[in-house]
């Protein structure tokens, strides 16, 4: 194993050379209150912290950073905390997805422009995980990810509440007149009871699990509840490990191999994970120079069983998963499907990381012969309505809708949807196909999580709880229902979704992986010729940069100029 000398550390160029700049950097570090012997010759570990008072999922991260620092000091490093943008899924509008690439850019540039030898990436709320990892991949600096951990289970009158999933369910029941105001207040009080990310297998739990299976965390890190003392210990251990990663110069490019990405796809499917993982993993893989496509997900989905019985597809929540053995327990159950010889940031192989991991509760982490679903939870659809693909989390949908034809009811954007959905004159039945367009990467903008279109109140009162819905939007990982998502190309750039009219028959056939608009091609050609592109909403600023460079969902929604790694020179420190 190679080991750098203090003079070979990247930070040496800032602190250790015989130059006016180094002199200034040393003087300014004394200004920070540190004597030379406290930091000189030590690896500088940048702790990229996405704490914010508008991000309740990360509200413990400022305190948790102290544990990371403890670990860094213990291992002989020099910790520096670097606050970065917090993407708060709940509060940030129009959608955090609009800003994922901005945080990725910030991460990359913070690491590049400062004297950092290794990074500890602290995040977990949905887009923060892929964003931090994408930045670290492109900078290719030794990095370890510290997941913020799931919150404790929600609770209302003895009933376990799951983030997102039970909010949608109670909201639908209240609109159907089945639950009253007092009950809704109880749910409001009980559904989010501690720091930490959503505790269902939503996007946050999926993506932190992805970070772990990719080999970018310490073993078991992703399943530890945010408030467990094991979480403090994991943070400190990650700090210690970051120092070692700096000395050994173990970079993301060493860890993030094609095998690592293949295993991440397998794990997402076995977890019944979020459809958002498809977009993020494609984007991350492209940064790593690994070819990963929607078809890779679909191929794996046909053979990988869903073993995690977690909401929204199953019954349990993340604390149950942790106590049942967590991600290492689940991965050990599918070890024969994984690449076990690949390295991880923990200093061991993936096989060693999960070897010996046990499952303590087969109800939560199912046995191979008793899966929640024999097939993976995601299907990739193609057809004349989605030439570049679309995704459905069919394991969380009403099975009767998985082979369905119905007339389209079309909405042009979310505002139009909210304005007309409950219009008494809307010609909608339980068999209709609700279509939302103008909600893709450019049209949204930011591809908001509007893909679980609400069911009209009138139908809710009739007892309808699922309908076929089709959009170029995403949906929350905690959502459920027969929602066809990520239709590509999106309508805003002239994808076929732009051509759908009210009453057009649409057919979904999940078994055949088909999504079709059953309208003659000559008619579609006429509509296409008459179509005019919508105006862009941004005239300046980040929005216009986003609009000019965002790629489509099947390509991961990265900016075209951010794909890959390297390509930027190290800054001159003299």
The whole-angstrom separation of Cα 244 and Cα 346 is 10
The whole-angstrom separation of Cα 524 and Cα 499 is 7
Question: Is 121 or 204 the residue whose CB approaches ligand FES more closely?
Answer: 204
The whole-angstrom separation of Cα 410 and Cα 424 is 16
Q: What's the closest the beta carbon of residue 233 comes to ligand FES, in angstroms?
A: 22
Q: What's the closest the beta carbon of residue 302 comes to ligand FES, in angstroms?
A: 29
The whole-angstrom separation of Cα 387 and Cα 476 is 23
Strands annotated E in 413-479? 433-437, 468-471
The whole-angstrom separation of Cα 183 and Cα 136 is 45
Q: What's the closest the beta carbon of residue 552 comes to ligand FES, in angstroms?
A: 25
Question: Is 167 or 506 the residue whose CB approaches ligand FES more closely?
Answer: 167
Question: Is 197 or 311 the residue whose CB approaches ligand FES more closely?
Answer: 197
The whole-angstrom separation of Cα 265 and Cα 260 is 9
Q: What's the closest the beta carbon of residue 150 comes to ligand FES, in angstroms?
A: 8
Where on the chain is the footprint of ligand FES (CB under 6 A)? Answer: 57, 89-90, 125-126, 163, 197-198, 202, 204
Q: How far is CA 440 from CA 19, 444, 449, in A?
A: 51, 5, 10
Question: Is 11 or 88 the residue whose CB approaches ligand FES more closely?
Answer: 88
Residue with tokens 């991260």: 61
For residue 487, the Cα-to-chain-centroid distance in whole angstroms is 18
Question: Is 111 or 192 the residue whose CB approaches ligand FES more closely?
Answer: 192
The token duo for 48 is 């990229």
Question: Is 127 or 382 the residue whose CB approaches ligand FES more closely?
Answer: 127
The whole-angstrom separation of Cα 100 and Cα 89 is 11
Q: What's the closest the beta carbon of residue 414 comes to ligand FES, in angstroms?
A: 19
The answer to whether 381 touches 515, Cβ cutoff 8 Å, is yes
What's the chain's length in residues? 574
Sign of CA dihedral 314, 473, 433, 384: negative
Q: What's the closest the beta carbon of residue 52 comes to ligand FES, in angstroms?
A: 11
Question: Is 22 or 90 the residue whose CB approaches ligand FES more closely?
Answer: 90
Q: What's the closest the beta carbon of residue 262 comes to ligand FES, in angstroms?
A: 26
The whole-angstrom separation of Cα 306 and Cα 333 is 11
Q: What's the closest the beta carbon of residue 126 comes to ligand FES, in angstroms?
A: 5
Question: Is 127 or 513 the residue whose CB approaches ligand FES more closely?
Answer: 127
């Amino acid at each position: 194993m190679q080991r750098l000398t203090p003079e070979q550390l990247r930070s040496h160029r800032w602190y250790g050379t015989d130059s006016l700049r180094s002199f200034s950097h040393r003087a300014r570090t004394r200004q920070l209150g540190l004597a030379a012997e406290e930091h000189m010759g030590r690896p500088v570990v940048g702790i990229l912290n996405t704490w914010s008072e508008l991000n309740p999922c990360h509200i413990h991260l400022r305190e948790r950073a102290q544990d990371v620092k403890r670990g860094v000091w213990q291992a002989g490093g020099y910790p520096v905390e670097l606050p970065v943008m917090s993407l708060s899924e709940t509060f940030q509008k129009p959608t955090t997805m609009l800003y994922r690439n901005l945080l990725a850019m910030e991460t990359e540039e913070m690491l590049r422009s400062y004297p950092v030898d290794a990074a500890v990436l602290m995040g977990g709320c949905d887009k923060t995980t892929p964003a931090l990892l994408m930045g670290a991949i492109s900078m290719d600096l030794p990095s370890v990810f510290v997941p913020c951990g799931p919150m404790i289970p929600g609770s209302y009158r003895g009933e376990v509440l799951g983030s997102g999933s039970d909010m949608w369910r109670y909201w639908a029941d209240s609109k159907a007149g089945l639950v009253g105001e007092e009950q809704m207040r109880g749910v409001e009080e009980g559904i989010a009871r501690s720091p930490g990310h959503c505790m269902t297998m939503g996007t946050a739990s999926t993506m932190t699990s992805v970070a772990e299976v990719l080999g970018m965390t310490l073993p078991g890190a992703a399943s530890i509840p945010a408030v467990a003392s094991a979480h403090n210990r994991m943070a400190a251990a990650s700090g210690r490990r970051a120092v070692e990663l700096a000395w050994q110069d173990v970079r993301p490019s060493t860890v993030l191999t094609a095998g690592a990405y293949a295993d991440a796809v397998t794990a997402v499917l076995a977890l019944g994970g979020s459809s958002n993982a498809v977009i993020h993993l494609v984007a991350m893989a492209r940064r790593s120079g690994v070819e990963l496509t929607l078809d890779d997900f679909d191929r794996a989905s046909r053979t990988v069983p869903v073993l995690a019985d977690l909401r929204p597809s199953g019954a349990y929540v993340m604390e149950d998963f942790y106590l049942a053995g967590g991600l290492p327990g689940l991965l050990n159950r599918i070890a024969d499907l994984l690449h076990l010889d690949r390295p991880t940031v923990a200093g061991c192989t993936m096989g060693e990381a999960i070897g010996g991991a046990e499952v303590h509760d087969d109800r939560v982490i199912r046995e191979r012969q008793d899966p929640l679903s024999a097939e993976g939870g995601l299907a990739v659809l193609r057809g004349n309505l989605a030439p570049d693909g679309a995704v459905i989390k069919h394991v969380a949908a009403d099975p009767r809708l998985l082979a369905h034809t119905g007339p389209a009811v079309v909405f042009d954007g979310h505002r139009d949807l909210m304005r007309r959905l409950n219009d008494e004159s809307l010609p909608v039945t339980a068999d209709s196909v609700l279509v939302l367009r103008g909600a893709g990467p450019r049209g949204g903008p930011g591809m908001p999580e509007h893909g679980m279109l609400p069911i009209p109140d009138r139908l809710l009162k009739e007892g309808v709880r699922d309908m076929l819905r089709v959009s170029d939007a995403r949906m929350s990982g905690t959502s459920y229902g027969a929602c066809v998502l990520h239709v590509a190309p999106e309508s805003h750039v002239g994808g076929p979704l732009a051509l759908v009219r009210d009453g057009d028959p649409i057919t979904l056939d999940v078994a055949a992986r088909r999504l079709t608009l059953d309208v003659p091609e000559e008619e579609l050609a006429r509509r296409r010729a008459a179509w005019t592109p919508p105006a862009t909403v941004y005239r300046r600023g980040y929005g216009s940069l986003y609009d000019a460079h965002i790629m489509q969902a099947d390509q991961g929604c990265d900016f075209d100029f951010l794909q890959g790694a390297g390509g930027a020179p190290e800054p001159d420190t003299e």
